Amino acid sequence: MIFLDNLINGLSLGSIYAIIALGYTMVYGIAKMLNFAHGDVIMVGAYVAFCGLQYWGLPPVVAILASMAICTVLGITIEGLAYRPLRQAASLAVLITAIGMSYLLQNVALMIWGANPKSFPPTFINSTTFRLGQLRVSSATVITILANIVIMVSLTLFTAKTKMGKAMRCVSEDRGAAELMGINVNRTISVTFAIGSALAAIAGVLLCSSYPILQPTTGSMPGIKAFTAAVFGGIGSIPGAMLGGVLLGVIEIFGKAYISTELGDAIVFAVLIVVLLVKPTGLLGKPVREKV
């Protein structure tokens, strides 16, 4: 029974990682950069939803939509102001900029909302608990897992069927060729950031529904772990992000339950290191050959 309990918790946490990992994997696949600030967009999303619920008295659905809208704008702004000027620069410079952006978001959040942790108000997401015999499953868990599946399916359809999705795949394969074919690369990258950031807002709300403590650093650790998940699954691959995220969540919960609570994070990172050494392209990633 404890095993099943842990498994469900792991799936739920893993689903959150998977949704965050999608943002990383899409941006990495298309803009070829590690958007270190992605985790902090989650935090902003959670804070906006918190304000909507607590201060503005919005209904939960509207609060979530508002949070998604603001995060989308934020994502596009970050990309346009900080990353676009560095499109041709070395990856070292882009990564340092992204780290700077992550810190900027955290500190702006610190100035606006203060350092004291806020407790995220309960919504329809975590309203009830289902009972299956002895097993108790909170509605947050169910909704998180369902949201993950819905997002995954719709994103896969989006990239496969729509014009913008096809443009994204083109830019990811060969930016230069895509440009020559008349695809607006800058706009495609902006849309990628917009989608990733909107997903980050959802992830933020889901994260805080399961773990209702909100502070400016809330996003950074899940962000780093979700990147780990994206790498685990194979960076650039949407099903990979889902697989990596879910596996990592399960590994983390089981590690905490059966090995040591203190070493939960260490286990997650050890997984990352082992994966990168054994199969650097991740579980579902494609190998990339450097052109000489």
Partner 1 sequence: MTKAKRNRLIYNIVTYALVIAAFLILQSMIANKTITRSLKGQLVPICCWIVMAVSLNLVIGISGELSLGHAGFMSIGAYTGAVVSGWLLNAFAVENTLLRLVLAIIAGGVMAGILGALIGIPVLRLRGDYLAIVTLAFGEIIRSLVNVLYIGVSDGRLRFSFLTKDMPEGTVMLVDGAKGAVKIKPISTFTVGFVLILITLFVVLNLINSRAGCAIKATRDNRIAAESMGIPVTKYKMIAFTTAAALAGMAGALYGLNSSTVVPTQFTFNQSINVLVFVVLGGLGNVLGSVISATLLTVLPEVLRAFSDYRMLAYAIVLILVMIFTNNPLIRSFVNRLFSPIKRLFRKNKQGGDIA
Site residues (vs partner 1, CB under 8 A) = 28, 33-34, 82, 85-86, 88-97, 99-104, 106-108, 110-111, 220, 224, 227-228, 231, 260, 262-263, 265-266, 269-270, 272-273, 276-277, 280, 290, 292
Of 16 and 271, CB closest to partner 1: 271
Nearest approach in angstroms of CB 192 to partner 1 is 17
Of 49 and 94, CB closest to partner 1: 94
Nearest approach in angstroms of CB 225 to partner 1 is 10
Of 42 and 152, CB closest to partner 1: 42
Of 10 and 223, CB closest to partner 1: 223
Nearest approach in angstroms of CB 17 to partner 1 is 15
Nearest approach in angstroms of CB 273 to partner 1 is 6
Of 102 and 159, CB closest to partner 1: 102
Written as one string, the DSSP assignment of the chain is -HHHHHHHHHHHHHHHHHHHHHHHHHHHHHH-S--TTHHHHHHHHHHHHHHHHHTS---HHHHHHHHHHHHHHHHHHHIIIIIGGGTTS-HHHHHHHHHHHHHHHHHHHHHHH-SSPEEPPP-GGGS-EEEETTEEEEHHHHHHHHHHHHHHHHHHHHHHHSHHHHHHHHHHH-HHHHHHTT--HHHHHHHHHHHHHHHHHHHHHHHHHHS-EE-TTTTHHHHHHHHHHHHHH-TT-HHHHHHHHHHHHHHHHHHHHHT-STTHHHHHHHHHHHHHHH-TT-SSPPP-PPP-
Nearest approach in angstroms of CB 59 to partner 1 is 34
Of 65 and 95, CB closest to partner 1: 95
Report how far apart, in Å, the C-alpha atoms of 95 and of each of 19, 83, 137, 195, 219 are: 22, 9, 40, 20, 18
Of 247 and 272, CB closest to partner 1: 272
Tokens coding 71: 């995060």
Nearest approach in angstroms of CB 93 to partner 1 is 4
Tokens coding 29: 């696949």
Nearest approach in angstroms of CB 276 to partner 1 is 6
